């Protein structure tokens, strides 16, 4: 005998309303009806497309697509994906089968179907083999992360001069670059002073390197990079399983992201609970902060703010 | 595997026991109500109401008709498994800790804690077929060990009783006369309180778990130490697979060490060891508190663990569990 085990992942499709000033937003969802017939408001808006059930395929995945009205009155499509799985086949003997039909007693008598006393775990738990000391489980999980690939080398000891952390990143890749004030002032002022020096220097006939000549491209370049780091958003209260790809996925909808970083605890290989996301555009970063601050992600409430208190 | 979580108890779990056929799982907790669940899908069948104190352990008869439970309210009760009705109550002068039916279910061994002037003791009671004929009197009372006796079980053919407790010494007593037959060697034995004891499927050897962060495997007849399994955590519960040569240890964390260890200490796991090689095979995580109870289904294809968090987690093994090689 087997039991049906469900785990559900719901997905909610938001109605198209913000960026598209459509006078009749509800109708953009009703693709089943013809445009010409839908002039007035008191039309077939109350009708919802029928529920679709895409039956269990060979992996046992069943999809149920339902349409509903949410609290704001917008039509909403809900896709529920469940996996139907057979549990262990219990070959019960005769007595055990009889016991299966016993009546409930004690506190179980008044048990309603909704009481969630017995639930199947949503997480897949495996018998974790002991890891040999030195290897990290994260290497398999985050192949795309350049930082992880760097540390895979193992023997190299990376020391960052800005934050002083060993073994995580080189100075040029320090995520706290914009936090270290001395580094910035160095970049800021000498650019201005060197421009004047260059002018006077060339006047004397001294060699002026291309980066310091008048109209040097480099100022714009460094300015661009710095402005990028000014669009750095700090995310705190991350769960310990969160990695760079997760942050990228979470922040990408708001705009182009140049880099993501999640601080890792070297000893345990898990996240230290915070990270940084750099946007290309400041407005994207601002929108991300507005939307994601207080957002529930992996059972924790995120705190999203500017990386340095420089929100003008 | 996807464990089934059963949250029927409000308080920490103390003991788990499968019936002989492996279709029922009995759970005891500090919340006064032992519960019975179906062992395949975790559905609750019923609860046994009547105790007034934490229930420390239980045992079920071979035909799954009788349940015996020992509780901190100084009573041991006999129940009808099917209806949940109380059949008989044994009264003691101190909290009852461990109960165990003999082979044949005609006798039961019960241990009581030291309380006020009373020292801890091991009682043997005769269990009548018909509950109306049940009497209160003990067949045998053994006193002697210092401190709490956490577990006492019947030896092979009911000839002996094996006891283990706070004084870290395992003792074998004659079940007819009450004489001490053997004591475990102090040098090789446990150094701290023995918290749990489980017999092998055939009764030829047994496993003890102790707060000294180790578990030891002993021969039942000669009480010689066969194997030792070392972990990093104090061991609260032990279980042996009836099918493969695996032992499982479940434990907790010293409260004093909580702030000094890393934040992952919250993921309590049941550790699997190879019984013969003494090497760790792996761990099954998931509990939010120390694991206090472990039990293997007699068919060896599933096991359950009960924790301080009040949850019982029922695990059915994936097919590749049976192919594990070191």
Q: The CATH number of the domain where B33 resides is what?
A: 2.130.10.10
Range with top average pLDDT, A28-42, A129-143, A213-227, B30-44: B30-44
Closest by CA to A76, choosing from A5, A17, A164, is A17
Give the tens place of pLDDT for each residue, B144-187: 788 899 999 999 999 999 999 999 999 999 999 999 999 998 88
Residue A124 is classified by DSSP as -
Taking an 8 Å cut-off on Cβ atoms, the answer to whether B4 and A119 are in contact is yes
Closest by CA to A231, choosing from A285, A294, A272, A295, is A285
Instruction: For the sheet with B96-101, list strands across it.
Output: B96-101, B107-112, B121-126, B138-143
Residue A239: what pLDDT? 87
- Which residues on adjacent β-strands are paired with residue A260? A277
Contacts of B269 in chain A (CB under 8 A): 128
Q: Is the dihedral of CA A176, A181, A182, A186 positive or negative?
A: positive
Parent domain of B80: 4-323
Residue A198 is classified by DSSP as H
Please give the sequence-ordered ranges of beta strands (E in DSSP) within chain A, or none if there are none: 4-5, 8-13, 52-54, 61-69, 75-83, 85-86, 118-120, 232-236, 257-264, 271-279, 296-297, 300-301, 303-306
Residue B34: what pLDDT? 95
Which residue did the predictor score with more confidence, A4 or A288? A288
Taking an 8 Å cut-off on Cβ atoms, the answer to whether B283 and A130 are in contact is yes
Residue B298 to residue B287: CA distance in whole angstroms:
23
Residue A44: what pLDDT? 62
Mean residue pLDDT across chain A: 67
Under the banding of pLDDT at 50, 70 and 90, the label for residue A88 is: low
- How far are the Cα atoms of A2, A289, B154 from residue B151, in angstroms, in the given order? 36, 58, 10
Q: Does position A146 have pLDDT exceeding 60, yes or no?
A: no
Residues 6+ apart with CB under 8 A from A240: A270, A271, A273, B263, B264
Under the banding of pLDDT at 50, 70 and 90, the label for residue A15 is: very low
Q: Does position A232 have pLDDT exceeding 80, yes or no?
A: yes
What is the percent of chain B where pLDDT is above 70? Answer: 95
Nearest to B44 among A87, A108, A120 (CB): A108
Taking an 8 Å cut-off on Cβ atoms, the answer to whether A267 and B43 are in contact is no
**How is residue A106 written in tokens?**
């004690």
Instruction: Return the minimum-mean-pLDDT range out of A182-196, B165-179, B205-219, B220-234.
Output: A182-196
ipTM over 0.90: no
Contacts of A130 in chain B (CB under 8 A): 280-283
Under the banding of pLDDT at 50, 70 and 90, the label for residue B297 is: very high
Q: How far is B32 from chain A (nearest CA, A)?
A: 12
Nearest to B41 among A87, A267, A270 (CB): A87
Residue A195 to residue A201: CA distance in whole angstroms:
10
Nearest to B8 among A95, A117, A265 (CB): A117
End-to-end CA distance of chain B: 20
- Look at chain B and report how many structural domains it folds into: 1
Taking an 8 Å cut-off on Cβ atoms, the answer to whether B284 and A127 are in contact is yes
CB B149 within 8 A of CB B164: yes
Range with top average pLDDT, A88-97, A230-239, A299-308, B23-32: B23-32
- Long-range CB contacts for residues A30-39, cutoff 8 Å, separation at least 24: A30/A75
The 3-state DSSP class for residue B142 equals strand
Under the banding of pLDDT at 50, 70 and 90, the label for residue B256 is: very low
Q: How far is A151 from chain B (nearest CA, A)?
A: 22
Taking an 8 Å cut-off on Cβ atoms, the answer to whether A126 and B1 are in contact is yes
Residue B23: what pLDDT? 92
Taking an 8 Å cut-off on Cβ atoms, the answer to whether A108 and B45 are in contact is yes
Which residue did the predictor score with more confidence, A60 or A198? A60
Residues 6+ apart with CB under 8 A from B11: B29, B30, B31, B54, B310
Q: Are strands B13-18 and B24-29 parallel, antiparallel or unpaired?
A: antiparallel
Q: How far is A176 from chain B (nearest CA, A)?
A: 24
Q: How many helices (H) and strands (E) does chain A have?
A: 7, 13
Please give the sequence-ordered ranges of beta strands (E in DSSP) within A14-92, or none if there are none: 52-54, 61-69, 75-83, 85-86
Residue A258 to residue A281: CA distance in whole angstroms:
10
Closest by CA to A273, choosing from A228, A232, A230, A234, is A234
Mutate to test the interface with B, among A1, A6, A90, A266 (most CBs of B within 10 A): A90
Residue A245 to residue A275: CA distance in whole angstroms:
12
Residues 6+ apart with CB under 8 A from A112: none
Closest by CA to B165, choosing from B203, B123, B208, is B208
Mutate to test the interface with A, among B38, B246, B279, B321 (most CBs of A within 10 A): B38
Percent helix, strand, coil in chain A, to 5, is 30, 20, 45
Residue B51 to residue B244: CA distance in whole angstroms:
37
Residue A39: what pLDDT? 54
Residue A217 to residue A209: CA distance in whole angstroms:
12
Mean pLDDT of B258-267: 44
Phi, psi of A121 (to 5 degrees): -65, 140
What is the H or E stretch that residue B17 is in?
strand B13-18
Q: Does position A117 have pLDDT exceeding 60, yes or no?
A: yes
Q: Does position B217 have pLDDT exceeding 70, yes or no?
A: yes
Q: What is the DSSP string of A211-225?
A: GGSTT-HHHHHHHHH
Closest by CA to B22, choosing from B38, B3, B41, B1, is B38
Contacts of B313 in chain A (CB under 8 A): 121
**How is residue A84 written in tokens?**
């139907």
Residue A131 is classified by DSSP as P
For A217-250, b where at least 16 C-beta lie within 10 A, e where not — what string?
eebeeeeeeeebbbbbbbbeebebebbbebbeeb
Q: What is the DSSP string of B34-92?
A: -EEEETTT--EEEE----SS-EEEEEE-TTS-EEEEEETTSEEEEEETTT--EEEEEE-
């Amino acid at each position: 005998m087997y039991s049906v085990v469900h785990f559900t992942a719901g997905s909610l499709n938001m109605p198209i309303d913000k960026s598209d000033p459509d006078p009749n937003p509800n109708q953009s969802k009703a693709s089943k009806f013809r445009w010409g017939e839908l002039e007035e408001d008191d039309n077939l808006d109350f009708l919802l497309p029928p529920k679709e059930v895409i039956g269990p395929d060979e992996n046992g995945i069943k999809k149920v697509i339902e349409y509903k009205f949410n609290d704001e009155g917008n039509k909403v499509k809900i896709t529920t994906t469940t996996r139907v799985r057979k549990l262990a086949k219990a070959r019960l003997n005769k007595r055990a089968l009889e016991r299966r039909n016993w009546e409930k007693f004690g506190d179980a008598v008044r048990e309603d179907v909704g009481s969630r006393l017995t639930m199947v775990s949503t997480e897949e738990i495996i018998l974790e083999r002991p890891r040999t000391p030195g290897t990290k489980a994260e290497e398999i999980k985050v192949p795309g992360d350049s930082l992880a690939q760097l540390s895979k080398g193992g023997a190299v000891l990376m020391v960052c001069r800005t934050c002083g952390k060993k073994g995580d990143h080189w100075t040029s890749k320090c995520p706290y670059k914009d936090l270290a004030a001395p580094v910035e002032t160095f970049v800021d002022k000498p650019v201005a002073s060197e421009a004047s020096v260059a002018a006077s220097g060339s006047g004397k006939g001294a060699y002026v390197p291309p980066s310091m000549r008048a109209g040097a491209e480099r100022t714009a370049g460094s300015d661009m990079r710095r402005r990028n780091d000014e669009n750095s958003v700090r995310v705190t209260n991350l769960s310990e399983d969160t990695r760079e790809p997760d942050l990228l996925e979470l922040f990408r909808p708001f705009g182009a992201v140049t880099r993501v970083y999640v601080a890792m605890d070297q000893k345990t290989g898990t996240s230290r609970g915070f990270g940084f996301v750099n946007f290309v555009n400041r407005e994207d970063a601002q929108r991300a902060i507005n939307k994601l601050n207080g957002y529930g992600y992996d059972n924790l409430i995120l705190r999203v703010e500017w990386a340095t208190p420089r929100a003008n | 595997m996807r464990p089934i979580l059963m949250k029927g108890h409000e308080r920490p779990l103390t003991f788990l026991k499968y019936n002989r056929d492996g279709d029922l799982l009995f759970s005891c907790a500090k919340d006064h109500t032992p519960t019975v669940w179906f062992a395949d899908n975790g559905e609750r069948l019923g609860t046994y109401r009547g105790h007034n104190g934490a229930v420390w352990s239980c045992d079920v008869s071979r035909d799954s008709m009788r349940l015996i439970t020992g509780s901190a309210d100084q009573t041991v009760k006999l129940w009808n498994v099917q209806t949940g009705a109380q059949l008989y109550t044994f009264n003691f002068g101190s909290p009852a800790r461990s109960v165990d039916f003999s082979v044949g279910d005609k006798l039961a061994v019960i241990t009581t804690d030291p309380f006020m002037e009373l020292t801890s003791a091991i009682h043997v009671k005769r269990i009548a077929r018909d509950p109306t004929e049940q009497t209160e009197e003990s067949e045998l009372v053994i006193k002697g060990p210092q401190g709490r006796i956490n577990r006492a079980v019947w030896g092979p053919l009911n000839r002996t009783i094996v006891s283990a407790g706070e004084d870290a010494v395992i003792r074998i007593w004659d079940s007819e006369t009450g004489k001490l037959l053997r004591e475990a060697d102090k040098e090789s034995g446990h150094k701290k309180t023995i918290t749990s004891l489980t017999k092998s499927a055939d009764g030829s050897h047994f496993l003890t778990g102790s707060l000294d962060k180790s578990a030891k495997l002993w021969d039942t007849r000669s009480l010689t130490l066969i194997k030792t399994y070392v972990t990093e955590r104090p061991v609260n519960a032990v279980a042996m697979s009836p099918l493969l040569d695996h032992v499982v240890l479940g434990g907790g964390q010293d409260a004093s060490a909580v702030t000094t260890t890393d934040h992952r200490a919250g993921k309590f796991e049941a550790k699997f060891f190879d019984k013969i090689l003494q090497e760790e095979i792996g761990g099954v995580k998931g509990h939010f508190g120390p694991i206090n109870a472990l039990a293997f289904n007699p068919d060896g294809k599933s096991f359950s663990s009960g924790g301080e968090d009040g949850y019982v987690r029922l695990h059915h093994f994936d097919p590749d569990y049976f192919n594990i090689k070191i």
